Amino acid sequence: MKHQELISPLDNRYSKKIVDLANNFSESNLNKTRLEIEIDWIIFLTTQCGKNFKPLSSAAKNNLLFIKKSFNDKSAKRIKTIESKTNHDVKAVEYFIREEMNKFSNLKKYQHLVHFALTSEDVNSLSYAVLLRDAQDIYIKKLDALIKDLNSKSKSWATLPLLARTHGQAASPSTIGKEVKVFHQRLTRQKEILKKMKPMAKFGGATGNFHTLILSDASIDWVSKTNKFLSSFKIEQNPITTQIESHDGIAEICHCIQRINNILIDLNQDMWIYISNDIFKLKLKDGEVGSSTMPHKVNPIDFENSEGNLGLSNSLMNFFADKLTKSRLQRDLSDSTVLRNLGVGFGYGYLGICSCLNGLSKIQPNKQNALTELDDNWQVLAEALQIVMKLEGYDNAYEEIKNKTRGHNIDKDSYLKIVNELKISSKSKDQLKKLTPSNYLGIASKLAKL
């Protein structure tokens, strides 16, 4: 099929943005990973698993490693050809390895060890764990770029005053940098949680009881042995399973990415509103069109694109976490087709990060508008008025200031009039007169620089 005829936008419109993830989750890479596991298992059996497994000569081992390193597009196509007959993907990989081993005289006597004592789920479980391990690295690298950008902006904009809004209404002022810092901190926390999550795999045979391995040599502690094998792939073993690994670890990863997606959606929506309120200006780019009919338009399309892609990722991640943790009795096959789509969930989440980064690169604070908005809302200093009154012992301070400010248009003159009429000390009045909506910021600037 031609590139533009592919059904998924991940494979056509957005393909260049997710190359690393696409390569990682491709069926070709899945089969390559399966092949590597099968060959490494043969080497492991013949070097570390006792007298019942005839040791490999150096030449034989080198030939196995050659098969492993020689996997290419031709290998991938051959496996698919075999699968068209077997209707079983892991078995197709096994038969392909046997074909390759048959080309070397010193490997023919080891062909019986291909897929020895394994069920296909052992190989798949470890393969998907490896793919997830690498996908996490790719994803976190892009997330890190966004986190660093937010940190840089929070510090650059640390002192720029901003009218805060709670329930959409004017509230105690903040700074642009501090509000950006909120998202930096939230994403940093989730990133650290995601980094600690390790995909799990099982290697215990048909129903997870190590039947065939025990049969091959009952004197070996196969739980420890298989754990050592999985550890070589930097994967944690789940030793107590049915035929399939429970996928709880995958669910944890999916839920974490959902939380990251939701934080980013929150960021996108806030940026969209700030742009709409003219707190941020969008940088112009020659040649870009905002509307097919309204020439003046400059739209926050990157934040909108990000929000849409993150929503798609959320739907998939939620489904993965819900579906994959359930399997009838010792197994059913409904998880198999679902696992093949893990890359799609990652892909849309990754795109969401890319678009958000692109959006952030196009905005700049509209300082004058931010200050004008603050100057139009002196009522936000009502909080300061009632607090200072309470400090001087006025129990009904809140109610008194509420009557003077709620529903009233408060500007600088009316604010100062209220201050002068208050029955408080001259010192407190002087303190309040120094306040303006643009300097009543608490420690927002300091927080933004943390």
Backbone angles phi, psi at 165, to 5 degrees: -135, 125
Q: Among 143, 181, 159, 174, which residue's Cα sits nearest to residue 349?
A: 143
In Å, how far from its chain's centre is CA 404?
A: 48
Q: Quick check: is 115 catalytic?
A: no
Point out the catalytic residue in the list 84, 167, 219, 296.
167
Q: What does the block give as tokens for 191?
A: 């990133």
Cα gap 312→347, rounded to integer Å:
10
Q: Quick check: is 291 catalytic?
A: yes
Q: What does the block give as tokens for 234?
A: 């930097």
First vs last C-alpha separation in the chain: 52
Q: Are strands 363-365 and 280-282 parallel, antiparallel or unpaired?
A: antiparallel
Asked if residues 26 and 340 have their Cβ atoms less than 8 Å apart, the reply is no
Asked if residues 440 and 175 have their Cβ atoms less than 8 Å apart, the reply is no
Point out the catalytic residue in the list 105, 152, 231, 291.
291
Q: What does the block give as tokens for 381?
A: 């200093």
Question: Which are the catalytic amino acids?
Answer: 167, 291
